[in-house]
Chains A and B, each alone.
Chain A
């Protein structure tokens, strides 16, 4: 039941992306309305897929590679939709839909096998820790997209040669605000994810902190974001340096998520 839903939502996301790209090129508002509708439909179907998988697996479906990445895509999609109705950022949807489809593709390529839950994960901390962490990553992903858009727009303005993006991307101010907004949601959630993980580690492994590679890397990630947030609030860091740092920090997020599993291993690497 869950897999067809996954496939359908993947296809719907893909159609939404195509529509968004169509809108990006044509700047026809009717196309955007259609794209938004399709994207929202995709996100709803995706939600149903995750619920269905929860019942199929009998546990929160954020353990395997497939599940984690799929949930990541879900977090990005809903993170985007959560403030879509609060304020609009011109053409943000186009970039978000591309990233969403990218993650869905990775999820689709990973093994969908439902593995029995290892004893260490059999805890009510699993939904709390995993979902908070991934939702945090979702918002940080949105911040990264905002950063990329900022750099694209800034590049054209600085170089004084206007191509594809100048008229299509929103103002630098709007993109910088977007960056700040996503960080102010994503960073507290990231912090909460690490704290909840630490508390769970105390219960499961007997100590709050193990210097396990995954823990170490999430700490590094946390420090990067902490520095960025700190610089933003104290010395008014913004614009290009902030955008670059957002992107770098998100690369650290991705490394924590995948790189650690494949390259470093450790007790935390369940989702191989």
Chain B
């Protein structure tokens, strides 16, 4: 294959256990791994995406096999043994990679299908890559297209409409437990995008107050200010349990921070007023046994996901429509890609023919010294006419959209390139047309 391939490597919640994903997550931000990827020779354009449910790298290269090993070793080599990587990492190439990216952007590949967060995360990831000049023509086009597809899916289907996000599910549950939420208090333990989102959602439902607890009080104060609430330190956690009703926990603690025995006396003191714990943290912050207590309800991230499964049938219907949009756009993008590949071949072919033509003309004209300028012109004209006529069919062959020739475009490009011995890179990308 003379032209470059688009390769997507990654793991997500469907294929890979949390324990492995956690190790692979790019905890330190994008800047460092992105600049490290720049060291790999075969990579042309690349970007990275790391969320709580997936880690993906997408790049263009001439040599997919070689670069796969290099990229995996560089990004995850230290954290995860090679055989695990081999087992869990999925790889998509070209059209499949494009399709997968569009699926991810449209939140069709999300744990909670239809949730809107992923698009923001994707944009953020792309912003980093673009700022560090890791993305070029193909990736820029591809990512913008992905944003466009996501928007189309969102506006043309109802995939994001119903109870699809975890935070929505949490609110729904809170309503079933407490009825009215306007006199209830929410406590955030730790902070994270998801926790903040859930808190925002609850505030939108009119909860009375927000308390933020954090290991560093400073961060707690900052977050509390955002929610117009109050801050507390982690030492006050158990006292605070008396004053709040809904607890959203998402600390980075490795063990559990609250157990059954911690909650039991609290319930007595609360006169059995219900407590609703939402554990978004991975690994879990709260002991599962808490749920066994009367009037105490504990949902972790998996439970909430199952809750969202409730209206699965409706969403499946919408998902089919959304996937149709993705398929449509993938096809369009593939068309653009092929066109882009064809265009440089045409340019190269012309350039080569012109070079031969010019070379031969120069040789001939050097011998025929007595020619009038008009005669010289005629000879030049004839030479280029021969070349053009010779090239006419090969160019038509390259340009034609349909499969009249019984082969697809890629094959035809390859045939032409082989036939005329066109080798090397596809030339300067700036010369390429953006056809759609």
Contacts and interface: CB of A to CB of B under 8 A. Distances in A.
B79 to A, nearest CB: 32
Interface stretch (B45-53, B267-275, B424-432): B267-275
A235 B271 contact: yes
A239 interface: yes
Contacts of B299: 160
Contacts of B88: none
A161 B295 CA distance: 17
B272 A236 contact: yes
Contact of A171 (B177, B270, B273, B310): B177
B176 A238 contact: no
B291 interface: yes
B176 A157 contact: yes
Contact of A241 (B173, B175, B294): B294
A177 B178 CA distance: 11
Given A160-B303, A173-B178, A173-B179, A239 B272 contact: yes
A170 B306 contact: no
A209 interface: no
Name the residue in A153, A158, A177 with the highest tally of chain B Cβ atoms < 10 Å from its Cβ: A158
A166 B306 CA distance: 14
Contacts of B175: 171
Contacts of B294: 239-241
Contacts of A235: 268, 271-272
Interface in A225-244: 235-241
Nearest to A240: B294
Contacts of A161: 306
A238 B295 contact: yes
Given A170-B179, A171-B178, A173-B180, A237 B306 contact: no
B271 A166 contact: no
B245 to A, nearest CB: 10
A157 B178 contact: no
Contacts of A153: 176
Contacts, number: 51
Contacts of A240: 294-295
Contacts of B92: none
A162 interface: yes
A177 B3 CA distance: 71
Interface residues of B, number: 22
B147 interface: no
B307 interface: yes
Nearest to B268: A235
Given A160-B303, A160-B306, A162-B310, A239 B176 contact: no
A205 B177 CA distance: 51
A160 B307 CA distance: 7
Name the residue in B176, B268, B272 with the highest tally of chain A Cβ atoms < 10 Å from its Cβ: B176
Nearest to B306: A160
Contacts of B271: 235-236
Interface string A172-207: 111001000000000000000000000000000000
A166 B176 CA distance: 8
B175 to A, nearest CB: 6
Nearest to A171: B179
Contacts of B268: 235
A237 B272 contact: yes
B336 to A, nearest CB: 45
A236 B176 CA distance: 20
A239 to B, nearest CB: 4
A69 B179 CA distance: 35
B177 A172 contact: yes
B212 to A, nearest CB: 25
B31 to A, nearest CB: 40
A157 B295 contact: no
B179 A158 contact: no
Name the residue in A170, A238, A240 with the highest tally of chain B Cβ atoms < 10 Å from its Cβ: A238
Contacts of A157: 173, 176-177, 297
A241 B271 CA distance: 13
Nearest to B267: A236
Contacts of B303: 160
Contacts of B177: 157, 171-173
Contact of B274 (A160, A166, A170, A172): A172
B310 A239 contact: no
A172 B179 CA distance: 7
Interface string B165-190: 00000000101111110000000000
Contacts of B178: 171-173
Contacts of A162: 307, 310
Contacts of B180: 173
Nearest to B271: A236
B264 to A, nearest CB: 14
A239 B177 CA distance: 10
Interface in B299-325: 299, 303, 306-307, 310
Interface string A140-179: 0000000000000100011011100010001111100100
Contacts of A174: 179
A166 B307 CA distance: 11
Contacts of B173: 157
16 contacts: A153-B176, A157-B176, A157-B297, A160-B303, A166-B176, A166-B310, A170-B179, A171-B175, A171-B176, A171-B178, A171-B179, A172-B177, A235-B268, A235-B272, A236-B271, A238-B295
Given A174-B179, A236-B272, A239-B272, 7 more contacts: A157-B176, A162-B307, A166-B176, A173-B177, A173-B180, A235-B268, A239-B294
Interface of B: 173, 175-180, 268, 270-274, 291, 294-295, 297, 299, 303, 306-307, 310
Ordered nearest first, which 6 A-B pairs have the shortest CB separation?
A236-B271, A171-B179, A173-B179, A239-B295, A236-B272, A160-B303
